[in-house]
Structure formats: structure tokens, C-alpha cells
Amino acid sequence: MTTQPQSSSVPEILVVDDDLYLLAAIKQTLVLNGFAVQTFSNPVEALASLEGHLFAAVLADIRMPEMDGMVLLERILAKDADLPVILITGHGDISMAVEAVKKGAYHFLQKPVDEDIILATLSRAIERRQLVLENRRLEQQLSHTRESRSRFFGLVGSHPVMLGLYTLIETIAVESDPVLIIGETGTGKELVARAIHSLGQKNNDPYVAVNMGALPSEMIESELFGHEKGAFTGAIGRKVGKFEYAGTGTLFLDEICSMPAALQSKLLRVLEERSFSRLGSNSSIPLKARIVAATNRDLQAEIDRGHFRQDLFFRLNVLPVHLPPLRERKEDIPLLVDYFWNEYCDGQHSAARPCGPELMRQLMQREWPGNIRELRNFVRRYCVLGASEPAGETPVRAALAPSIPELNWKEYMEQQERLYVEQVLQKAGGQVGAAYQLMGISRKSLYDKINKYRIALDQFRGKK
């Protein structure tokens, strides 16, 4: 074996051939043309040199006594699937060389090998190799960045489900299809909508948010679509609606389930035809805005009760985004507490002490039915009251005090029922037969609840 010193800026070529004369000739050609070279007459030794070594390309004879080029090719690619392997063949080995290319060889050269052809082929192979390595490096860098990030457009968390959410937002942000965000109250649905808008906008397009639950039903149509002067009593001038004002930006329809049934039908038609009209006008205005809708309710249950149109659900649910409740990612609570503590104390120049280990342990044990919003309110209360109290008494009492969920009675009871079902399934190890007996209900009733709350049984099996 002979070795040419490797340089970080000089491509290094591995050459394998049992013909020592040809091996020396190829090495001389490559060195004179600026390559670093390692040569081996023994293919087994050549394979061993791949460990911990990054070659730009491999030149190998297809016929060698200890190991032919086909076997060598297979073993090289098993170690480094992207390494270009160029096989050197005799006249009788053309069919074998073609087969080698089908199995992953970069190219093959016929003996006697022309110097210019070797250099041209190596140049193309090295260019591809460098491109592959650069792409691999960028992918690893991006993957590391994603895995290590804990903040994303106002969203905070490094739990795997949040990292997956960040990636999903990046993926769908560049699309124009409607997005439906589903999550409990206080999970950050509007933050997700703003992130989608921020990543997808091109020309400082507007972001327009409408809370459907906060508008009087008689005003919703005018707010969304606008009206002409005289369209109804009190319409003293033309009004531009949210759909028109959003232009080519994003229109966020929060609490979409609060939309009256008659307007659900009109919204469906607008989404299908991609146009709308102001009240009192016959002129059609093209819909250019991207629609992002959100709800904290179980849409399937709303559809079953006849409160929400199924066809509108299908039209909105092109790109669904599900936000996890805080109780499913409690590992993020310390990050969130730190984030909210800095947000408030830095702005108010507060001297409140950071949460101690005991208080943090108690915060981690809570269910937080109000999710991120409830935790944020607690941290603010801590920043205001905690600094003036004896070592943590008030914060601890506040953390242990029953939290008031920001839900109506029905939503709160459904949430508690789901928690109960999950706790029983956890105790029963995901076995439905044992679970429904513990609950004192029928098997069908339990399956109805599992389907209603979309509970995955696999997460409980084998985890008593």
C-alpha cells in the first residue's frame, strides 16, 4: 500500500487493483492532476481503509483474485451508500459492468483506460459526492436545530409533540389550502395561525383575525363580507368586510363552531366558488385570502348534533393541526414558567424569585384544564404577589388552589369524563374488558366514549 497525505481541500481517491503496474500508473496520473490517492492491491485492506475515512470516489478493477469488483462494490455501498464507485473492466466484462451499474456503481471504464476519460469521470463523480455530502450536512444541521429549539413564533416547548408541530407548521405554511386548528382553550391556536401566516406571507400581506363567538349573530355576515350603502337599515355607507380586507393575506376564523347555520352554508359556497359579494351588491369579489379556522370543540360531536355542517368541515379540514393540551406535555412546564417569568419580570423590573424545586414539582403535578393561559396567569400572579411573601407560601397556596377552567359547563364535564376514561384505561392496561367492568358500564358505552374522545388504546396497553 502507498499513501498520499490527505488535504481537507484536495479530493482523495481510493484505487484498488491487483495489477501493480496499472495501480502505479493510475496513481501517478491522479497525483499529477492534483488528487490525493490511497492505493491497495488487496480489496480486503481497501475495505478496512473506509472505516473512519471519507473518500471522494473509488476506482476498482472488476476482476481480482481475493474479491471481485461486484462483491467489493456491494460491501463499499453497505458502508457508504453515496460513495461513487467506478469499475475498470476488460473487453469480456462489459455485461458484468452493466450489471454493476444497475446495482449502484457510478460508472465503468474499459481497459486500456484513457487518462482524459478517467479524469472527466472522476470530476463528475466528485461533484456529485460533494453535493450529496453538503445536502447531508445541511439536513443534519436542520435536524439538530429542530431538535434543540424550544421556541417557535411565540410557541414554547421542546416536547417531541411540539417539535412535530413546528415541522408541520413549516410544511403547511407555504401551501394555500384551508387549515383547521383543533385544540382546547388556552393551547395557543392563534399563535399557530400567526406562525402559519408569518412563514407563508410574501409581501407583508395582512393577518386578519375574527372571533366568531364574540360577534352578534346579526352582524357576522356584514363583518365578514361587507355591505353596500343602503343594504339594510343603518347601512349609511359602504363597508369593506374581513374577507376583502384580508386581500392575499390570512383570514383567521376563531371559534368557527359559533358561526350560525345559515352563514355556514354561505361560507361553504364562498370556499367552493372562491368568490363572495358584499351585502346589497351583485358584484363578485374573488377570494384571495388563505382561510385558517380554529375550534376548541369536538367537531364530530357538533356534526352529530346538527350544529355544524359536515360538508363545511370537509372543506375546512384540508390541512388539520391538532394542538396538545398542557397535561400531555408536562415536561414543557419548566420552560413555560421560565418564559412567562422573564416576560413579566423583565418588563416590570420585578424582583420576584424564580420558582423553587418544590413549587415546580407541584406545578408539574397539576392537570391545568386552562392549559397555557392558566399557567401564564399563575406565573403573573406569582410575579406580583410572590416577591412580598415569606419564602414561597403564597405561590404554593396559589398553585395548590383549585384552578377555574375557562370552559363552559358542558365542555368542562366532557373534559373530566375523558380524563376519567383515560385513567381507568391506564389502570386496566388498555384492556377494554377490564376497563368497562371497573367503570360499571357496558362495553358499547365505553367504546362510544373512546370513539367520542378519539382515545388511542395502544398508548395504555402494557402500561398498568
For residue range 51-67, list pLDDT tens digits in order: 878 899 999 988 888 78
pLDDT of residue 206: 93
Considering only CA atoms, which of 123, 138, 135 is closest in space to residue 11? Answer: 123
Query: Nearest 5 degrees, angle CA 281-CA 284-CA 285?
Result: 110
**SS3 for 276?**
strand
| pLDDT of 424 above 90 | no
Task: Taking residues 2-30, report their average pLDDT.
Answer: 78
Residue 403 pLDDT level (bands cut at 50, 70, 90): low
Asked if omega into 43 is within 30° of 0 (cis), the reply is no
Task: Give every CB contact of residue 456 below 8 A, 6+ residues apart in sequence.
Answer: none
**DSSP states of 101-140 as a string?**
HHTT--EEEESSPPHHHHHHHHHHHHHHHHHHHHHHHHHH
Residue type, 260: P
β-pairing, 151-152 vs 107-110, is unpaired
How many C-beta neighbours within 10 Å does residue 305 have?
9
Residue 388 pLDDT level (bands cut at 50, 70, 90): very low
Burial class (CB in 10 A: 0-12, 13-18, 19+), 455: middle
Tell me what percent of the residues of the chain surpass a pLDDT of 70: 88
Cell of 43: 480489496
> Using CA of residue 122, residue 126, residue 129, residue 131, what is the dihedral sign?
negative
Query: Residue for cell digits 485492506?
Result: 45
β-pairing, 57-61 vs 85-89, is parallel
Instruction: Report the C-alpha gap between 147 and 163 in whole angstroms.
Output: 7
pLDDT of residue 399: 47
Q: What backbone torsions phi and psi does residue 86 show, to the nearest 5 degrees?
A: -110, 120
**DSSP states of 384-413 as a string?**
HHGGGSSTTHHHHHHHHSPP--SS-HHHHH
Burial class (CB in 10 A: 0-12, 13-18, 19+), 422: middle
- Give 181's strand partners: 294, 321
**SS3 for 250?**
strand
Task: Taking residues 433-444, report their average pLDDT.
Answer: 84
pLDDT of residue 288: 93
pLDDT of residue 365: 87
Task: Give every CB contact of residue 90 below 8 A, 6+ residues apart in sequence.
Answer: 62, 63, 110, 111
Instruction: Report the C-alpha gap between 26 and 280 in whole angstroms.
Output: 84
- Per the model's pLDDT, the better-predicted residue between 447 and 4 turns out to be 447
**DSSP states of 183-198 as a string?**
--TTS-HHHHHHHHHH
CA dist 375 → 247, 332, 355, 366, 379 (Å):
36, 11, 13, 10, 6
By the 8 A CB rule, do 267 and 259 touch? Answer: yes
β-pairing, 285-286 vs 275-276, is antiparallel
Tell me what percent of the residues of the chain surpass a pLDDT of 90: 38
Residue 10 pLDDT level (bands cut at 50, 70, 90): confident
Residue 416 pLDDT level (bands cut at 50, 70, 90): confident
Q: What backbone torsions phi and psi does residue 323 show, to the nearest 5 degrees?
A: -95, 130
pTM for this one? 0.57
Instruction: Report the C-alpha gap between 405 and 407 in whole angstroms.
Output: 5
**SS3 for 296?**
coil
- Give the side-chain half-sphere CA count within 13 A for 426: 6
Query: Residue for cell digits 450529496?
Result: 132
Q: What backbone torsions phi and psi does residue 351 show, to the nearest 5 degrees?
A: -105, 20
Residue 142 pLDDT level (bands cut at 50, 70, 90): low
| pLDDT of 151 above 80 | yes
pLDDT tens, 303-319? Answer: 998 999 999 999 999 99
Cell of 351: 424582583
| pLDDT of 127 above 60 | yes
pLDDT tens, 83-117? Answer: 999 998 876 677 887 888 888 889 988 888 888 99
pLDDT tens, 199-219? Answer: 988 778 899 999 988 888 778
State which of 90-99, 281-290, 448-457 shows the largest mean pLDDT.
Answer: 281-290
Element (H, E) at 294: strand 290-295
